[in-house]
Amino acid sequence: MGGHTSCVAISGSGGDGDADGTGPPTLLLDAGTGIRRVPALLGGRPFRGTILLTHLHWDHVQGLPFFPAGDRDDARVTLAMPAQGDPVAVLSGAMSPPHFPIGPHGLRGEWRFQGLEPGCHRVEGFDVLAADVPHKGGRTFGYRVTDPAGRSLAYLPDHGPLGLGPGPDGLGERHPAARALADGVDVLVHGAQFTAAESAMAEAFGHATVDYAVALATEAGARRLVLFHHSPARTDDGVELIAGALAGAPVSVTVARETLVVDV
């Protein structure tokens, strides 16, 4: 499925689009090492857009200084994270000497760093709903992105609903934020690090199980579920096994792999 960590690139349609009518990505969800794949989508152009971080865990930010399209003089990047004090100071906790040679302001180009409050925001022409979701070890958001045509994608890579209670079936609470983010969405990209048999570990680590993701997608009327953020310890065959067991699920399920393109 690939070894990179979380990063999803979103392109609108139209504008100065490529031959297939899709523009260059202007909105990135998280900046894990998967961001190394984004320059290929930009065809030599600088990144000009916004990066929304769900939270500050390493696997969601470590790609930031390894993103050549964003680290060049003609790049223009807004980096937004859940509000929790000075965003540069927060980011510097992991990205500054002695942990790393440069701090956030060492990136070339025009970078702006913002703390984001929950609620509705207009970002790069998209409507973005940001909501606090339970996780372990730091404030974490889920996002719902809607384009001007009403096409929507929800993104909850790190989400620990068992932290709020067992819910109706022991899988985890279907809390209002999860419901609001996923409600009738075209694509729900949800963390799938643990199976139901691993639910004790899922709870301890602040994650959900695959079964929870399927239940949430089904109950919220999501059109399609993309299982994302697989366990680093699971083999590709192991992931395929999980997907195979979901063949009869009441919602269409796709297993994310690196470079997967989802048309919404």
Instruction: Tell me how far, at minimum, the Cβ of 9 lies from Zn ion, in Å.
Output: 17
Which CB sits closer to Zn ion, 87 or 160?
A: 160
Q: Are 208 and 167 in contact (CB under 8 A)?
A: no
- What is d(CA 252, CA 186) in angstroms, rounded to the nearest whole number? 11
Task: Give Cα 185 distance to the centre of its chain.
Answer: 15
- The answer to whether residue 207 forms part of the interface with Zn ion (CB under 5 A) is no
- The answer to whether residue 158 forms part of the interface with Zn ion (CB under 5 A) is yes
- The answer to whether residue 144 forms part of the interface with Zn ion (CB under 5 A) is no
- The answer to whether residue 59 forms part of the interface with Zn ion (CB under 5 A) is yes
Within 10 A of 202 (CB to CB), how many other CB atoms are there?
A: 25
Q: Which range in 15-23, 77-85, 153-161, 176-184 contacts Zn ion by CB under 5 A?
A: 153-161
Q: Which range in 67-75, 145-153, 158-166, 211-219 contacts Zn ion by CB under 5 A?
A: 158-166
- The answer to whether residue 57 forms part of the interface with Zn ion (CB under 5 A) is yes
71 to 8, 60, 62, 257: CA distances (angstroms): 18, 17, 14, 26
Residues 6+ apart with CB under 8 A from 235: none
Which CB sits closer to Zn ion, 44 or 232?
A: 232
- Name the residues that contact Zn ion, by CB under 5 A: 57, 59, 158
